[in-house]
Amino acid sequence: MSLFEEAKKYIPGGVNSPVRAFGSVGGEPVFISKGKGSKIYDVKGKEYIDYVCSWGPLIVGHSNERIVSRLKEVIENGTSFGAPTELEIELAKLVVEYVPSIEMVRMVNSGTEAVMSAIRLARAYTDRKKIVKFEGCYHGHSDSLLVKAGSGALTFNQPSSPGVPDEFAKLTLIADYNDIESVKKLFKENKDEIAAVIIEPVAGNMGVVLPKGNFLKELESVCKNEGTLLIFDEIITGFRLAKGGAQEYFGIDPDITTLGKIIGGGLPVGAYGGKKEIMEMISPVGPVYQAGTLSGNPLAMAAGIETLKILGEEGFYDKLREKSNKLWEGFRENCNKLGLKFAFNCIESMGSLFFKEGVVESFADAVESDTKLYATFFHKMLAKGINLAPSQFEAMFVSSSHSEEDIDKTIKIHYEVLKEMFGN
Ligand SMILES: *Cc1c(COP(=O)(O)O)cnc(C)c1O
């Protein structure tokens, strides 16, 4: 019996998060036994160059020596106290220093929890009920946000989920990414009722889709005029596009920011932060309740601190960009050489190849992609030792541990695979 067969006996679908099950690409998921730097190894010992990077967190690669040694130090002194520790101050200080709009931050255990709490806070702060999200953006699986969602929800064609009462779902209004008119229309129809607009400033959960022109700036000003909070879900883009995330990159000042993934350096952490005036509405200072037995866990804080310190080193993002651009250029050249016109979106160290000709600038464009071609591409890459996300609607991530050799090898294999699929 395969590990997957065995897992399916005890765990729904054999996995603890749906996309891992390979549902949209077919076949059985690879079980991983270890990771080091840019590489992961399956239980049979096969090596892969990894561009999933745990779906984003591992911007410095697998089992980074500094993170591992800090974790060892911390673990000797206990794993959880349910009482404040200095580590929590250290990570909070780094977050406030790095992310321009964050004056105060609260740690939680996952991105889902961060966003759920941020929405509650925005509703309390504005005393309004409705929120606006964009079709194809994913903000975790809390009830209010599992409406026309991306990521696994999109991969499995279940963008909205049974079990979310209509009464909740109808408080979540849906706009189109990169279409400011669709946002303005919702504000007109729901005057003084919208607590917050939440957005992935660069969409990463319908594949990578970049904000066009002044879209984010206009969104910022619409929110300001309407007394609505702008929530940047930077769970992917935070510490990925730049030290200060997408808000630094694009020069936007959101009211609340949600963080996850990289902030935990591979351990379970999420966070939400913003202006002091808003954040002080949270218990125990204010009336908005939010708590967590393991929140601010010492191991999780230590991994986050070491990761953020590495990101803060001179030239970190320049080197990562250079490496990423080499890979993206290589991919584009391969397509050109083969006369393929597929859309390829990238920014800094995140990118997506869409099996759709022309451009992908919206959710409607993204879902025109040929997911069967993606499945073939994915399996051919995997067989040759390149690990990509098992879904068309996800990003690939480059880490600082990817070497020149990894990049060259990946470009070469990418060419071979596309040639096998489309060459004549
Ligand atoms: C991954 C992700 C989340 C959810 O985070 P979890 O830690 O998986 O709960 C929320 N928003 C965005 C943009 C994400 O990419």
Tens digits of residue pLDDT in 308-320: 999 999 999 999 9
Q: Share the mean pLDDT of the chain.
A: 96
> Is the CB of residue 365 below 6 angstroms from any atom belonging to ligand 1?
no
349 in Cβ contact with 321 (< 8 Å) = yes
d(CA 409, CA 138): 32
Say which CATH number the domain at 259 has.
3.40.640.10
Count of domains for the chain: 2
How many Å lie between the centroid of ligand 1 and the Cα of residue 139? 5
**Claim to verify: residue 359 and residue 277 sit in the same structural domain:** no
> Is the CB of residue 378 below 6 angstroms from any atom belonging to ligand 1?
no
How many Å lie between the centroid of ligand 1 and the Cα of residue 266? 13
Q: Whose CA is nearest to atom 14 of ligand 1?
A: 235
Domain boundary among 293, 311, 329: 311
> Is the CB of residue 367 below 6 angstroms from any atom belonging to ligand 1?
no
Helix (H, G, I), strand (E, B) or coil at 215: helix
**Claim to verify: residue 18 and residue 102 sit in the same structural domain:** no
Helix (H, G, I), strand (E, B) or coil at 33: strand
Output the CA–CA distances (angstroms, integers) from residue 238 to 60, 132, 248, in the order listed: 14, 21, 10
Domain boundary among 311, 339, 373: 311
**Claim to verify: residue 370 and residue 274 sit in the same structural domain:** no
> Quick one: average pLDDT of 245-264?
98
Say which CATH number the domain at 364 has.
3.90.1150.10
Quick: pLDDT tens for 296-311.
Answer: 999 999 999 999 999 9
Task: Please report which residue ranges of 13-110 form alpha helices under DSSP H.
Answer: 65-75, 86-98
- Here the tokens at position 172 are 């979540």
**Claim to verify: residue 210 and residue 94 sit in the same structural domain:** yes
Residues paired with residue 232 on neighbouring β-strands, in sequence order:
199, 257
Q: What is the pLDDT of residue 157?
A: 66
If pLDDT is split at 50, 70 and 90, which confidence band does 162 have? confident
Q: Whose CA is nearest to atom 5 of ligand 1?
A: 111
Which helix or strand (DSSP H or E) is residue 159 part of?
Answer: none
Q: What is the pLDDT of residue 166?
A: 86
Domain boundary among 311, 341, 363: 311
Backbone angles phi, psi at 382, to 5 degrees: -60, -45
**Claim to verify: residue 148 and residue 289 sit in the same structural domain:** yes
360 has a pLDDT exceeding 70: yes
> Is the CB of residue 53 below 6 angstroms from any atom belonging to ligand 1?
no
> Is the CB of residue 307 below 6 angstroms from any atom belonging to ligand 1?
no
Q: Which residues of 290-303 are buried (b: 16+ CB within 10 A; e: fewer)?
A: bebeebbbbbbbbb
Q: Is 179 a catalytic residue?
A: no
**Claim to verify: residue 263 and residue 343 sit in the same structural domain:** no
Of 47, 63, 12, 59, nearest in space to 316 by CA: 59
Quick: pLDDT tens for 333-351.
Answer: 999 999 999 999 999 999 9
Quick: pLDDT tens for 81-133.
Answer: 999 999 999 999 999 999 999 999 999 999 999 999 999 999 999 999 999 99
- Here the tokens at position 350 are 């995140």
DSSP-derived secondary structure for 273-317: EE-HHHHTTBTTTSSB----TTTT-HHHHHHHHHHHHHHTSTTHH
> Is the CB of residue 200 below 6 angstroms from any atom belonging to ligand 1?
yes
Residues paired with residue 108 on neighbouring β-strands, in sequence order:
270
Q: What is the pLDDT of residue 353?
A: 97
**Claim to verify: residue 394 and residue 305 sit in the same structural domain:** no
**Claim to verify: residue 233 and residue 121 sit in the same structural domain:** yes
How many Å lie between the centroid of ligand 1 and the Cα of residue 123? 20
236 in Cβ contact with 53 (< 8 Å) = no
> Is the CB of residue 111 below 6 angstroms from any atom belonging to ligand 1?
yes
79 has a pLDDT exceeding 90: yes
HSE-CB for 423 with a 13 A CA cutoff: 9
Task: Return the DSSP state at 209.
Answer: B
Task: Return the DSSP state at 125.
Answer: H
How many Å lie between the centroid of ligand 1 and the Cα of residue 259? 8
> Is the CB of residue 140 below 6 angstroms from any atom belonging to ligand 1?
yes
Question: For a pLDDT cut of 70, what percent of the chain falls above it?
Answer: 99
Measured from the CA of 17, which atom of ligand 1 is nearest? 8
d(CA 171, CA 343): 34
Of 254, 248, 249, 199, nearest in space to 221 by CA: 254
DSSP-derived secondary structure for 232-253: EE-TTTBTTTBTTHHHHHHT--
- Here the tokens at position 45 are 């010992």
> Quick one: average pLDDT of 217-221?
98
**Claim to verify: residue 59 and residue 69 sit in the same structural domain:** no
Q: Which of 233, 255, 365, 406 is catalytic?
A: 233
pTM above 0.85, yes or no: yes
Mutate to test the pocket of ligand 1, among 138, 200, 231 (most ligand atoms within 8 A of CB): 138
154 has a pLDDT exceeding 80: no
Which helix or strand (DSSP H or E) is residue 170 part of?
Answer: none
Q: State how beta strands 256-259 and 270-274 pair.
A: antiparallel
> Is the CB of residue 260 below 6 angstroms from any atom belonging to ligand 1?
yes
- Here the tokens at position 137 are 């953006």
> Is the CB of residue 235 below 6 angstroms from any atom belonging to ligand 1?
yes
Measured from the CA of 205, which atom of ligand 1 is nearest? 15
Q: Is 289 a catalytic residue?
A: no
> Is the CB of residue 150 below 6 angstroms from any atom belonging to ligand 1?
no
- Here the tokens at position 221 are 């000003």
**Claim to verify: residue 126 and residue 206 sit in the same structural domain:** yes
**In terms of residue numbers, what domain contains 244?**
65-311
How many Å lie between the centroid of ligand 1 and the Cα of residue 408? 30
Q: Which of 48, 125, 138, 272 is catalytic?
A: 138
How many Å lie between the centroid of ligand 1 and the Cα of residue 110? 7
**Claim to verify: residue 220 and residue 206 sit in the same structural domain:** yes
> Is the CB of residue 397 below 6 angstroms from any atom belonging to ligand 1?
no
d(CA 298, CA 87): 6
Q: Which of 130, 243, 261, 356 is catalytic?
A: 261
Which helix or strand (DSSP H or E) is residue 256 part of?
Answer: strand 256-259
Q: Is 48 a catalytic residue?
A: no
Amino acid identity of 332? R
How many Å lie between the centroid of ligand 1 and the Cα of residue 188? 30
Longest CA pairwise span in the chain (Å): 67
Angle at 314 between CA 71 and CA 62, to 5 degrees: 35
**Claim to verify: residue 179 and residue 152 sit in the same structural domain:** yes
Measured from the CA of 112, which atom of ligand 1 is nearest? 9
Helix (H, G, I), strand (E, B) or coil at 195: strand
